[in-house]
Structure 1
């Protein structure tokens, strides 16, 4: 049994070289994956490394190769199924290219995002994928560009930054979903988001700092406008940040003189909170209120009724972001692009048809 007062020291390249009966330089070439050695010598060194349970010193490797083999990922809310599924796609793309990932959660807070970016740059990551909490605060992301670390934005785009972005087709997705609700006879439609509410309500879409939310609201408003429905901003509600706040938002919304008959939830967490709020108010879906939610989260297909959703193909989004970052790390010559992954509407049972 290992003596806890005298723990076993790490196995070094010199230990592997001695066991394999080769020079330290030869062992270093084999273990570092550079230079030329015979197949026989390579097999000797790898067998010795396996027998001794050798683990490479990643810091030393990064100093000699200029790479850490690590990609940093900063997401908005890891509790949200959207981001956890996206991270799976990113991780799979990274692993196929020989990279590991470190994940940081910003909680959609700018200060936490800045701290995470600084920490990951300090860890000498080879590249960063960031979901910016705000698209109007660029200083820390501009700093990443100045350091020369490749950067890809995920889920939200900032054209002024001149870096790759991978997002869904948010405006088109909201437009399609809202048109579907209108096509089912709904004329009073609400959009509910977890984005922090501005005092006095939403008066100018351009002021929304989250590009994904802004584009979805633009699509929502465009569909209402083209249908000739009045005051399209009236039923837009922000601030559904947790269950308590969502309950308050829903109570105010449904207590209006002419409450909405249909809701578009900005993401699956908001959709689930709305579903719970309606249950607590004794309201049924779609008999009392209809709803469409973004993201094909697991819960949306097991509720009664199952929820009509916007399928965002999130795994593909994450995989594409990972592949794009790897290409940047490998210095593949590519023009800066905003890559959009198309969505589709999956019709289930949460939307009622209203007669004329």
Structure 2
């Protein structure tokens, strides 16, 4: 090997909740592991926010109890539907978590805090496992003659080490100061690779026994494996606001689902530090059968849609921590592993009306939202 080469048992691409959960499991087994991420810092606001009971039980088994201590615990869920006059009324109030399911209840805490807890836990491994930022892979190659040898390192990757400036995501033109790292803008992995190639001292070659891609919906790993997403976009567009609300709606501090007569649907998720997350169906944003340019969606547009749904109650805010918009897609990958050496740890989103439980699933049982 050249001085720039190294070996590792498992290389994880992506340091979000899935990658960090996997790294935590591997740390328990004392398996040689490296984890890389293209961003220079963890998530600061927004993104995934929900924890199911089983996830909390696993975190508790690791000794990671800060999620339960800091999160907002979901005790009840309310359903609001239009009456015979089209006015929304509370029709059901029920426990959020079925009795006897777990000693925990479903809880919410923003993704950045969860990442912080994982990172603090991994510090206990010393330098054995740490997140290396900002680093992206630019090449993946598998030596098929070595895949049956359990002692071999058949997967070769080239890693590009970025500058902090390169790793800072483009927020778009309509992102107010303080609203950081929404997923409104397009994936920039290919652009980051292009900018970093050919720069002396930025490249490293690594050989691994196994590689696991935990790099999201636009996964670079999935593309290298040649897997495609099959399916289609729906016409359903949702906006999301994390706000400190000003409202006379009586259930704003309770998880609830609101169906209006004609303006769409809304879901209320009370969060930590007096913040409330609102999922709002955007009926005035047309998809036309294709992908929507989400960069044109604004917080004001999302709020206007929420106000129509929640009428005759009033809704406004003075502080917005984060917002985004997304188009529901019904797609599935046509593959998840190659040669039992390279894996794509995919996430599955299962929306129901009006997004009753947007579930992320994986074999490592990552936090859900």
TM-score (norm 2): 0.26
More helix by share: 1
Greater C-alpha Rg: 1
Q: 1 or 2 for the larger relative contact order (CA 8 Å, sep ≥6)?
A: 2
